[in-house]
């Protein structure tokens, strides 16, 4: 993998790529020591160590993570990402919309703030659970309702 240097968009894409590979160590290396991460409306995690702890939970309990970009906009050191994130927990896949704001200084993320619709997030998990259950019951055959 080539290193993104200090280009803000490249740093953010590399960071999210690290998370897709569940490589928390590589992702953490892209964070500033005093970085702030917030999934709005939840409280912010402050500092690389606190953020890494949250990311380790994703890697420990999740079995996959995917990012599907819709739009990326850059203004100086600020990178905005409109995307769908897919969280995978065993057979359950939750695909939901996220809008992220990243601040990148000297090649390190200093701010990562994601916004999402909590109802959409909840429905995505319920939909994923139902699909997993139907798949388990039918042996993976699609239902006639699909």
Per-residue pLDDT reduced to its tens digit, 17-43: 999 999 999 999 999 999 999 999 899
Q: Three-class SS string for the chain?
A: CCCCCCCHHHHHHHHHHHHHCCCHHHHHHCEEEEEEEEEECCCCEECHHHHHHHHHHHHHHCCEEEEEEEEEEEECCEEEEEEEEEEEECCEEEEEEEEEEEEEECCEEEEEEEECCHHHHHHHHHHHHHHHHHHHHHCCCCCCCC
Q: Total domain count for the chain?
A: 1
Is pLDDT of 105 > 80? yes
Q: CATH number of the domain that 26 lies in?
A: 3.10.450.50
Q: Is 33 a catalytic site residue?
A: no
- Across the range 63-88, mean pLDDT stands at 96
- Kindly state whether residue 117 falls inside one of the protein's structural domains: yes
Catalytic residue among 7, 23, 29, 114: 114
**3 in a structural domain:** no
Residue 23 vs residue 3, higher pLDDT = 23
Residue 85 annotated as catalytic: yes
What is the value of pTM for the model shown? 0.86
Catalytic residue among 18, 85, 95, 106: 85
Q: Is residue 144 part of a domain?
A: no
Residue 115 inside a domain? The answer is yes
């Amino acid at each position: 993998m080539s290193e993104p240097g200090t280009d803000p968009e490249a740093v953010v894409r590399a960071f999210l790529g690290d998370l897709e590979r569940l490589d928390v160590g590589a992702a953490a290396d892209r964070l500033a020591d005093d970085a702030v991460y917030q999934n709005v409306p939840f409280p912010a995690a402050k500092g690389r160590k606190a953020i890494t702890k949250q990311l380790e939970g994703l890697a420990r309990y999740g079995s996959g993570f995917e990012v599907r970009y819709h739009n990326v906009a850059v203004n100086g050191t600020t990178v905005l990402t409109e995307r769908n994130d897919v969280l995978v927990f065993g057979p359950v896949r939750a695909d939901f919309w996220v809008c992220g704001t990243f601040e990148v200084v000297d090649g390190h993320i200093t701010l990562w703030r994601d916004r999402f619709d909590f109802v959409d997030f909840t429905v995505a998990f319920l939909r994923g659970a139902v699909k997993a259950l139907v798949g388990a019951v039918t042996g993976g055959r699609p239902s006639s309702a699909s």
